[in-house]
Structure 1
C-alpha cells in the first residue's frame, strides 16, 4: 500500500498521541517529515521541512467527508474516532520509522493530568449508566451516552469528536468496551443543542 500525504499526516498524529491530545501543527510537521522526507521536504533540500505542504495536507484531511482528523493550523490537531480506528488498523505501515519529536501542547498535558491513565477511563465507562444498560441488552439515550464522554447538549461539535476519540483510545484493548463504543459514540454525537445554540454555532 502506497501512503498518500494525508495518510502520512494521520499516522504522524497517531504516533504523537493525537488520539488523546491536541498536537501542535509544527510537531505534526516534524513527525510527518520523519515518516516521508520526499513528500514533506523541500525538493532541492529534502532535509528541510516544507511546512506549507504539511499545513495544506492537514487542512484538506480535516475538510474531508469522513475526516480522520480535526483541528486547525493555529490550535492544533487531533484524531477523530474514524482516525483512531484507521491508525489502529494501519499502524504497521510506519515500519521502522522512529518518531523523535514529542508533543508539547498544553492541551496534551492537561488531558494527561485529567485522565490519569487508561485505568480511570475504563472505570468511568464501566460505571456509567449507558454501559450498564448496554450489557443488559437494553437501549440507552444519547444523553446517557454523552455522559460517558462528558458530552452534553452544549458541548461544541469540534470538542465532541475529540472527547470521543480520546476515550476510545484510552480504553483500546478492552474488548467489551470497544464493542460498546461502536454504539455509544454515534449516540453521543446525536445530542442536539437547543435551537438558539444551534443557530449560533451555524453562523
Structure 2
C-alpha cells in the first residue's frame, strides 16, 4: 500500500531540490530566527510544517484536486497568499525604526503568533499548493494500492524533509542574528532587505 523504496528515494531527492530554493517559508523562518533567536525560528518552523501537513491531508482526501479544478479557488489562494506576504513585508519595513512600540511588539511575537503565521505562510504558498496538486500525484502507483494512502505517505516524507531543511535554516540564522542585533544600522538594512524579498515573492506568486 506504500510507495516503493526507489520511488521514495526519487521523491525525496526531488523534494529536497525544491526545498533548498529560498521561498516564503525559508524567508519567514530565517527572519524570525534573526530577530528573536533560534527558539522563535524553530517555533515558526513547526507552524510551517503544520501547514505542509494540512496540504498533505488535503491531497490525500481529494480536496487539493477540487481546488485545482476550480480556477477561482486557486486564484483566491494565490492572491490571498500574495496579500499576506505584503502584510509581512510591511511589518518588516516598520522594524527599521527600532524604538517604536509597534516594532517592539513585532520583535517579541508570541509563540502562538509565530506558529500561526508559519501555518498561514505555508498554507497560502502557491509553490507548495502546486507541489501537492501537480507534482506529488506523479509518484503514486495505483497498482500498489489506494492512492490516498500513498499520497499521505509521500506528504509525510515532504513534511519531514521540510522540517529538516527549515530547521537548519532556523539554527544557522539564529547564530547570525546574534551578531546582526549588535548593530542597529545593520539590523535596519536586513529588515528592509527582508521586506523587499517578501514583496518580490508576492509579485512572483501572482505572476505564476
TM-score range, shorter chain: under 0.3
Query: Comparing both chains, which one has the higher relative contact order based on Cα–Cα distances under 8 Å and sequence gaps of 6 or more?
Result: 2
- The TM-score normalised by the length of structure 2 is 0.26
Q: Which has the higher helix share?
A: 2
- The TM-score normalised by the length of structure 1 is 0.26
